[in-house]
Structure 1
Amino acid sequence: MNSVEHILPCRDKLGEGPVWSVDEQLLYWVDIEGECYHRLDPLSDRHEVIPVGVPIGVLALRESGGLVMATKKGFAFWDEEEKKLTYIARPFGDNPDLRFNDGAVDCRGRFWAGTMADGLLSQARGTLYRLDPDGSVHEMIHDIGVSNGIGWSPDNRIMYFTDSPTYTIVAYDFDAETGSISNRRIFVETPAEEGDPDGLCVDTEGYIWSAYWNGFKVVRYDPQGQVDQVIEMPVPRPTAPVFGGQYMDELYITSALPVEEQRSDYPLSGDLFRVKVGIKGLAKYKFAG
């Protein structure tokens, strides 16, 4: 495996949710606390930062073009020309103690995104929601600490989901036809001292790649939940990996700033990284609504 490349000094406060557009050959990701999203052409190094004006937990591509976002205020479409959000669902209303965090689109074009407490004093618990192409919203998992990495096996029969404060990635049986999940079981459980599992992605071999917040690493797990390999990162808070590149064999990894006293020790924190892993990943699905 090749070494970790530092490819963009974006200095995100909370970089998250990378999505590779196969059609455009561009990388998208968000800075949640920066209330913006990024767009990068790795071939030309063209980099854009687009302010949105509200924290974006995660974004996804739409089949009809453009983006759908899960924000502090709810699900919304982003109008690139008008530079504005059009809200389509606000499942937790105006509750100031919650915000959306991570999410992903399934093989039938449904957008899954989960919430977490927003603010150090908030005791709110999160919910994983499923936004269907018809605009309906369904509550899928309750009582979540921090809703994080989500992905599906190559055959779309298993859904993986991360609740970071529990140090676990869980697996569910997934029914692609109905969008239902069942048979919850622990896929990976790690010691607290190894960091919190954060964003994840899945490769074509069915292995799961998980970034570890405060863990300085990205771990590849086999389908049985055993560690296959570890990528050591030069920053304490890698947040999410995604496959991209012309051959879908490059792993892009976002990151976040650490606590104030660590920032001088890890000056690359909040930046974007890439590892040419030589393993192909699954392309991200698009929202069908």
Structure 2
Amino acid sequence: MKVRCVSDAKAVLGEGPYWDVTDQRLYWVDIKGKRIHRFDPQTGNDENWPTPEVVGSLAVRENGELIVALKSGLYFFDLNTAGVTLVALPSAQLHPAQNRFNDGKVDRQGRFWTGSMDDSEREPTGGLFRLDRQLQCERLVDQITVSNSLCWSPDGSILYYSDSPQRTVWAWDFDGASGAIANRRVFVQLPSSDGVPDGATVDAEGYFWLCVWGSWEVRRYDPTGRLTHTVRMPVQRPTCPMFGGPNLDTIYVTSASIGLSEPELREQSTAGGVFAFEPGVRGIAESRFKG
């Protein structure tokens, strides 16, 4: 598969791509750069807005605003003014000061889920939070160091989620009606000699696409967790894949430049950019947040 750089954005820590099927544009964030981006593949234009805190993830609301996971909590973001409105501020017990929010996605029923992490990536103080349509926020998983790989199977019956330092992606049974999760089990376990699991998505065939930080790779796993395909990337730190395009047949991949040495940055001149390739399968349309 031919991988191309579609936006040489020079992000510090590009993450959280979200393809909005309504306006046909790719939203993504530069976590450490404190920026929200919106990329238009028709024009190649990449707009960006500053955020008051580091920003982990986002999704589009039904009214066109954004729901964003900033360091301290969840906020609405107005693209016209770059203003934020507080939605949920978890307690210090659930979200201590050293934490920030990371991966986030909307489930098929329109709830926003986001994982938190210890910003130093050392302590298991993070977890998985669910924001429902009534704007009530609840933590469902704890003892996580770096939340990642959040997504659902095509029929919404399985939730996937990882803790990067454990190199483990888990699967849960997911109840779409209630938003409850149960029956946690290991889906993919990477060896200690490998990179670590980062962002993920699924295709319409139910296969799981995973960016592996540090590996130069995006990988495809079947529904049993068996590796079936590997896509070599031009950068060492791909961060998250997302299906997009008019037919949802393009995978966009964000990436990071953080922590790379000067020689590595020279070798990877497009690190921190957004990449695209055609995998030969289609994805699933992302839902908008219904809160």
Match of 2:139, SS?
strand
- Equivalences for residues 66-85 of structure 1 within 5 A: 66-85=65-84
| Residue of structure 1 equivalent to 2:162 | 162
Q: Is the 8 A contact 1:74 1:92 kept in 2?
A: no
| Secondary structure, counterpart of 2:266 in structure 1 | coil
Is this contact kept in 1: 2:241–2:251, CA < 8 A?
Answer: yes
| Amino acid in structure 2 at the alignment position of 1:103 | G
Separation in structure 2 between the aligned mates of residue 165 and residue 124 of structure 1, nearest angstrom: 10
Contact kept in structure 1, 2:6 and 2:44, CA below 8 Å: no
- d(CA) in 2 for partners of 1:199, 1:123: 20
* Contact 1:125–1:145, Cα closer than 8 Å, also in 2: yes
Encode CA deviations 1:210-258: one digit per residue, 9 max, x unaligned: 0011111000000010011000111110000000001100000000014
1:266 to 257, 265, 268: 268
SS in 2 for 1:165: helix
Farther-moved stretch of structure 1 (257-266 vs 32-41): 257-266
SS in structure 2 at match of 1:263: helix
Q: Distance in 1 between matches of 2:184 and 2:282?
A: 27
Q: For the Cα contact (< 8 Å) 1:21–1:28, is it kept in 2? A: yes
Percent of aligned pairs sharing the same letter: 42
Structure-2-length-normalised TM-score? 0.95
Contact persistence 1:98–1:124 (CA under 8 A): no
Distance 1:50 1:128 in 2: 26
Q: Which runs of 4+ in 1 moved over 3 A?
A: 92-95
Number of equivalenced pairs: 287
Give the equivalent residue in structure 1 for 2:88.
89
Determine the C-alpha separation between the residues in 2 that align with 1:228 and 1:4: 18
TM-score by length of 1: 0.96
RMSD, matched Cα:
1.3
Deviation of 1:124 (Å) = 5.3
Cα distance change on mapping 1:191 and 1:287 into 2, 3 Å? same
Secondary structure, aligned partner of 2:204: coil
1:1-289 equivalences in 2 (<5 Å): 2-93=1-92, 95-119=96-120, 123=123, 125-261=125-261, 262-289=264-291
Residues in 2 aligned to 1:216 and 1:264: alpha-carbon distance in whole angstroms: 16
Q: Give the distance between the partners of 2:125 and 2:82, measured in 1 at CA.
A: 31
Q: Which runs of 5+ in 1 are unaligned?
A: none
